[in-house]
Amino acid sequence: MNDLRQLRHFVALAEHGHFARAATAVNLSQPALSRSIQALESSLDCQLLERPSRGVSLTAHGQLVLEHARRLLAGSRALENAVSQLGNLQAGELRLGCGPYPAARLIPQTLGQFSGSFPKVRVQLLIDDWRNLRRRLLNDELELYVADIREYGADPQLCVTPLQQYPGVIFCRPGHPLLGKEPLELNASLDYPLAGTSLPAAINQAMQTLTGRAHPLTIECDNFMVLKALVSASDALSMAPWDVVAEEVLSGSLAVLNLPLERLAQSSAYGLVSRSGRSLSPAAQAFSTLLQEVDQHCAALLPAHRHQSSR
């Protein structure tokens, strides 16, 4: 059986695409790295690299081994991490993911409290859409994440804990031309760009029907901070759950429109997601418990959304 060092060397070579750079990354000489890769090929009885090649090109076997090697290495790292944290959250790491809306409020608030309680746990946070987060979780690149869960259904590979729900709103800058013209018809909003994160299939289909557009979003971006800055600086409209724009709306830096389109935003569908049948590391368990406490506390404090007409 090949050892994890050879797999680590092979993954480094695949990721760097060059023997010299990969050798530097794993602190080996180039001949030593080459011997390690040859030993791995010998133990697996297959060719992993195309030869000759100007760079590093993987064979079909190489692609398959790369996929499994990454999972094995992630599993090894998770085991070491869990053992180091057992009964002592003064070490190790926590690999988290979140969607763009939780990244705007819930995750920063939870992470701030978590890091205050466990300052020596190293946290890696990935912000991505729900599709990529699921893939990364199943590849053992993440231990848990928070994102929109409405597309998952009864996925046997996932353990999903629903979180608080918030109504969806359409928001704009305070001086937007549509403010003061309410009640509004949908056609009025179609004259302005609509920006948003990638949409769940059901909402995308409903918006296609309502707007008559094959691509309802004029601007698609999964960084919600960018979307808020865009709306503040232009006549673009955007949609979001109430909790992530409430502070700005209440302070007057953003405004909410009463549009027929608003009902398509429905409500948020955040969920805490981990691998089914897998126990969480102590750090992940502590973060999960804290996040649910923060979620409930914030929901109790956040004022309910009521449409505010311009005055």
pLDDT value at residue 308: 46
Q: CB–CB of 35/13 below 8 Å?
A: no
Greatest mean pLDDT range, 83-92, 243-252, 273-282: 243-252
> Which is higher by pLDDT, 244 or 140?
244
Is the overall model pTM greater than 0.95, yes or no?
no
Q: What is residue 294's predicted lDDT score, i.e. its pLDDT?
A: 94
Contact 217, 192 (CB under 8 A): no
Residue 26 has pLDDT above 70, yes or no: yes
Tell me the β-bridge partners of 267: 167
Residue 126, φ and ψ in degrees, nearest 5: -110, 125
Can you list the domains of the chain with their CATH numbers? 4-81 (1.10.10.10), 92-147+275-301 (3.40.190.10), 168-265 (3.40.190.10)
Nearest to 166 by CA among 270, 272, 273: 270
Give strand ranges (E) for the chain: 93-98, 122-127, 144-148, 158-162, 168-172, 194-196, 219-220, 237-241, 255-257, 270-275
Average pLDDT of span 284-291: 93
Per-residue model confidence as pLDDT tens digits over 141-166: 899 999 989 888 788 999 999 999 99
* Positive or negative torsion for Cα 208, 210, 213, 216: negative
Percentage of the chain lying above the pLDDT 90 cut: 33
pLDDT at 309: 40
- The tokens for 140 are 């053992």
